[in-house]
């Protein structure tokens, strides 16, 4: 029997360094930069809170006022989420990202030029709007243009670049903290929010549009040209071209015929409702697992354990972002080896254990003010983030992206970003108030939430490893999943191939599938 369409003549996956695959992966890397913008902002606000010049310029905001300054950005995310999804389906993924970047760059300039609190807050609202319009289509575009051999890794890498931006931002504020007496210590980081968006905007002129979106909008020849250029290296007769084109056309045609294309398609069937529930719950895992305290309010956490000087706080923040980036990339590289479900469980249980110990150490320091206990708190912050980054970071947007069929994929990501904005806004506004009121005792709330998160993941998060983007849509169809797996095993046996998960997933044209199942 013929080898899978994306397997090289010598066996195994096609080389990452083949020119056409390398070009495509560079295009994917450009789209990945959307998440770097989010990371830059998150770490920047953490860093600004450590700068005496920023605090004094805006009247030392704390509690409710500080929460408002942070919460206004996710408000912009909430406002933009649904329009971003609609725009992406209307004008395409690539042009929607460009629209978001234009808004984002203008807003970053406005923030850097702020002369009062009102201007700063308004600028941050529009930063949130632009950021979300640029981010909602990004994981969808990545999943739809990535080579099938590397799709899982490529999509999982999206959120890891959050830390690329966070690293740049944290070390930027570390470099400007000693500009005492000058507002440029916080204006420079604010202006540099535009760096990654501008870089991405230029790169997007060379990024192709999603072939799935092109086919769905009657531009099939452009989609076929994409497959020939990027999947087959210019060889129009390569089997992968016909296989991918046929599979995408068949799936999109079936979805158009079988389902409404309105938002109600998100909850039309039991399987749709399961996917929607996971899509809604996943961003709350991302924001309500304890990281919301440390990511945006590390300065307050460090103050509570006696670490108060700007140099030490900005240094810890900078090192933490590098550590996060390494752990997140490691997690993204494991999604196709270990699988999504094991990573989710490892992350949830690991966060529960480490965050619990972090809470206990914080309570002990509150009574003893022991320096060694403070060091232990910092150590467990790093250990907590290791477990967070291995699964939550790479899968927060990748998992909801891949579980939806084409006709609800972009709408599902819009809902995911909307819920992410809600969860983030709650964190941004409530966390500083709660920390100011009850200190370390507030951490107990997140321990309870981590218990709930672990249970939900165990009960409802299915494995999607080994399926193509079109096949994953059937994973949540209940009994159909069992039949689908049995069908694949029959095909594998008829072809004389081992049905081992260690092997490259088998891609077979539908006519061969039918022939094989009839033979068995």
Tokens of 229: 């250029």
Burial class (CB in 10 A: 0-12, 13-18, 19+), 116: exposed
**Rounded distance, CA 139 to CA 305, Å?**
38
What pLDDT, on the 0 to 100 scale, is given for residue 268? 85
Does a structural domain hold residue 5?
no
Does a structural domain hold residue 356?
yes
Q: What is the DSSP letter of 267?
A: G
Does a structural domain hold residue 500?
yes
Tell which of 434, 450, 471 closes a domain: 471
What pLDDT, on the 0 to 100 scale, is given for residue 27? 96
Read off the pLDDT of residues 384-414 as tens digits, 9 standing for 90 and up. Answer: 999 999 999 999 999 999 998 888 888 999 9
Is the per-residue pLDDT at 504 higher than 90?
Answer: no
Tokens of 438: 């009850």
What pLDDT, on the 0 to 100 scale, is given for residue 4? 55
Question: Quick one: 210 and 307 in the same domain?
Answer: yes
What pLDDT, on the 0 to 100 scale, is given for residue 53? 84
Domain CATH for 147: 1.20.1250.20
Read off the pLDDT of residues 106-147 as tens digits, 9 standing for 90 and up. Answer: 999 999 999 888 899 999 999 999 999 999 999 999 999 999
Tokens of 225: 């040209």
Read off the pLDDT of residues 404-445 as tens digits, 9 standing for 90 and up. Answer: 888 888 899 999 989 988 988 888 778 888 888 888 899 999
Question: Quick one: 491 and 417 in the same domain?
Answer: no
Question: Quick one: 68 and 97 in the same domain?
Answer: yes
Does a structural domain hold residue 164?
yes
Question: Quick one: 49 and 83 in the same domain?
Answer: yes
Helix (H, G, I), strand (E, B), or coil: what is residue 98? helix
**Rounded distance, CA 443 to CA 455, Å?**
19
Confidence of residue 79 (pLDDT cuts 50, 70, 90): very high
Burial class (CB in 10 A: 0-12, 13-18, 19+), 500: exposed
**Rounded distance, CA 427 to CA 71, Å?**
8
Q: What is the mean pLDDT of the chain?
A: 83
Question: Quick one: 458 and 483 in the same domain?
Answer: no
Which of the pair, 469 or 430, is modelled with greater confidence? Answer: 430
**Rounded distance, CA 108 to CA 189, Å?**
10
Question: Quick one: 444 and 483 in the same domain?
Answer: no
Read off the pLDDT of residues 308-351 as tens digits, 9 standing for 90 and up. Answer: 887 888 788 888 888 999 999 999 999 989 999 999 999 999 99
Does a structural domain hold residue 63?
yes
What pLDDT, on the 0 to 100 scale, is given for residue 176? 80
What phi, psi does 261 have (nearest 5°)?
Answer: -95, 10
Confidence of residue 5 (pLDDT cuts 50, 70, 90): low
Does a structural domain hold residue 8?
no
Helices (H), 404-478: 406-438, 443-460
Question: Quick one: 320 and 357 in the same domain?
Answer: yes
Is the per-residue pLDDT at 498 higher than 70?
Answer: no
Does a structural domain hold residue 12?
no
Confidence of residue 519 (pLDDT cuts 50, 70, 90): very low
Question: Quick one: 366 and 499 in the same domain?
Answer: no
**Rounded distance, CA 476 to CA 173, Å?**
45
Weakest mean pLDDT among 194-208, 244-258, 300-314, 323-337? 244-258
What pLDDT, on the 0 to 100 scale, is given for residue 43? 72
Question: Quick one: 486 and 394 in the same domain?
Answer: no
**Rounded distance, CA 292 to CA 454, Å?**
18
**Rounded distance, CA 164 to CA 200, Å?**
14
Does a structural domain hold residue 1?
no
CA-closest candidate to residue 384, choices 420, 366, 421, 359:
359
Q: Residue 114 is part of which domain span? A: 19-471
What pLDDT, on the 0 to 100 scale, is given for residue 506? 32
Residue identified by tokens 């500009």 is 179
Helix (H, G, I), strand (E, B), or coil: what is residue 483? helix
What pLDDT, on the 0 to 100 scale, is given for residue 117? 86
Is the per-residue pLDDT at 260 higher than 50?
Answer: yes
Percent helix / strand / coil, the chain, rounded to 5: 80, 0, 20
What pLDDT, on the 0 to 100 scale, is given for residue 7? 52
What pLDDT, on the 0 to 100 scale, is given for residue 488? 40
**Rounded distance, CA 359 to CA 408, Å?**
40
Q: How many domains does the chain divide into?
A: 2
**Rounded distance, CA 468 to CA 254, Å?**
16
What pLDDT, on the 0 to 100 scale, is given for residue 321? 83
Tokens of 220: 């099939």
Burial class (CB in 10 A: 0-12, 13-18, 19+), 293: buried
What pLDDT, on the 0 to 100 scale, is given for residue 490? 31
Question: Quick one: 320 and 248 in the same domain?
Answer: yes
Tell which of 432, 450, 471 closes a domain: 471
What pLDDT, on the 0 to 100 scale, is given for residue 468? 78
Question: Quick one: 350 and 495 in the same domain?
Answer: no
Q: What percent of the chain has pLDDT over 70?
A: 87
Contact between residue 35 and residue 159 where contact means Cβ atoms under 8 Å apart = yes
Question: Quick one: 67 and 189 in the same domain?
Answer: yes
What pLDDT, on the 0 to 100 scale, is given for residue 257? 60
What pLDDT, on the 0 to 100 scale, is given for residue 517? 32
């Amino acid at each position: 029997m013929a080898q899978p369409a994306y397997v090289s003549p010598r066996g195994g996956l096609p080389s990452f360094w083949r020119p056409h695959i390398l070009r495509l992966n560079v295009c994917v890397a450009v789209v990945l930069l959307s998440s770097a913008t989010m990371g830059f902002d998150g770490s920047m606000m953490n860093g600004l809170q450590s700068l005496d010049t920023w605090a004094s310029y805006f009247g030392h905001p704390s509690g409710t006022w500080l929460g408002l300054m942070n919460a206004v950005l996710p408000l912009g995310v909430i406002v933009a989420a649904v329009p971003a999804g609609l725009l992406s389906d209307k004008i395409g993924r690539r042009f929607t990202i460009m629209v978001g970047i234009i808004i984002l760059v203008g807003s970053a300039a406005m923030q850097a030029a702020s002369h009062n609190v009102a201007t700063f807050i308004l600028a941050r609202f529009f930063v949130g709007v632009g950021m979300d319009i640029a981010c909602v289509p990004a994981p969808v575009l990545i999943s739809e243009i990535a080579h099938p051999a590397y799709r899982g890794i490529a999509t999982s890498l999206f959120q890891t670049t959050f830390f690329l931006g966070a690293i740049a931002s944290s070390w930027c504020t570390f470099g400007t903290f000693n500009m005492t007496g000058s507002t440029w210590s916080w204006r420079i980081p604010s202006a540099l929010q535009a760096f990654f968006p501008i870089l991405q905007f230029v790169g997007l002129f060379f990024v192709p549009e999603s072939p799935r979106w092109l086919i769905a909008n009657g531009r099939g020849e452009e989609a076929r040209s994409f497959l020939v250029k990027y999947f087959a290296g210019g060889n129009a007769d390569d089997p992968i071209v016909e296989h991918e084109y046929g599979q995408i056309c068949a799936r999109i045609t079936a979805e158009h015929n079988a389902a409404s294309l309105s938002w109600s398609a998100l909850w039309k069937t039991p399987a749709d409702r399961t996917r929607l529930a996971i899509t809604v719950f996943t961003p709350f895992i991302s924001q309500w697992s304890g990281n919301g305290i440390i990511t945006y309010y590390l300065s307050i956490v460090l103050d509570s354990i006696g670490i108060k000087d700007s140099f030490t706080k900005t240094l810890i923040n900078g090192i933490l972002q590098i550590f996060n980036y390494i752990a997140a990339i490691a997690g993204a590289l494991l999604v196709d080896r270990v699988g999504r479900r094991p990573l989710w469980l490892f992350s949830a249980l690991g966060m529960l254990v480490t965050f619990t110990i972090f809470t206990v150490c914080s309570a002990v320091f509150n009574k003893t003010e022991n320096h060694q206990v403070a060091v232990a708190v910092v150590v467990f912050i790093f250990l907590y983030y290791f477990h967070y980054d291995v699964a939550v970071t790479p899968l927060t947007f990748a998992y909801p992206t891949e579980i939806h069929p084409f006709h609800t994929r972009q709408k599902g990501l819009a809902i995911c970003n909307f819920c992410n904005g809600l969860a983030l806004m709650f964190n941004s506004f409530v966390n500083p108030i709660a920390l100011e009121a009850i200190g370390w005792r507030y951490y107990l709330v997140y321990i309870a939430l981590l218990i709930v998160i672990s249970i939900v993941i165990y009960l409802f998060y299915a494995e999607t490893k080994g399926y193509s983007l079109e096949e994953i849509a059937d994973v949540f169809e209940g009994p159909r999943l069992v039949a689908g797996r049995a069908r694949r095993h029959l095909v594998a046996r008829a072809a004389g191939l081992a049905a081992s998960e260690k092997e490259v997933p088998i891609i077979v044209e539908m006519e061969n599938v039918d022939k094989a199942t009839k033979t068995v």
